[in-house]
């Protein structure tokens, strides 16, 4: 599959998930609030995306050929990029 086709599929999947679970802003905010209560520390929506991406990376270490995990990893990266605080200058370390 080409990069363009993969990105098209990802866009369709993300749109479908928004219908099922609400917008990424709302869904990841809800997850962040729940995790914050359970963990006793503030979790932000963009950190939720990062942690879910890391979960997919961990799964891919076990099974690198699982296409759905690669797609999910890309989806979490896209969502995280939309939820992250404003971009920092090149070379600056984000908080």
* Exposure of 3 in the CB half-sphere (CA atoms within 13 A): 0
- Residue identified by tokens 């006793």 is 40
Estimate to the nearest angstrom the gap between the alpha carbon of 55 and the chain centroid. Answer: 10
The three-point CA angle 62-68-70 to 5° equals 65
Q: How far apart are CA 81 and CA 50, in angstroms?
A: 9
Q: How far apart are CA 81 and CA 54, in angstroms?
A: 14
Each residue of 40-54: pLDDT tens digit?
A: 999 999 999 999 999
Each residue of 3-38: pLDDT tens digit?
A: 999 899 999 999 999 999 999 999 999 999 999 999
């Amino acid at each position: 599959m080409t990069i363009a086709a993969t990105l098209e599929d990802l866009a369709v999947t993300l749109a479908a998930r928004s219908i099922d679970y609400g917008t990424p802003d709302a869904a990841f905010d809800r997850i962040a609030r729940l995790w914050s209560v359970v963990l006793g520390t503030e979790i932000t929506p963009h950190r939720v995306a990062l942690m879910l991406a890391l979960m997919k990376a961990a799964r891919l270490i076990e099974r690198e050929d699982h296409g759905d995990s690669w797609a999910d990893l890309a989806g979490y990266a896209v969502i995280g990029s939309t939820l992250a605080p404003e971009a920092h200058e090149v070379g600056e370390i984000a908080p």
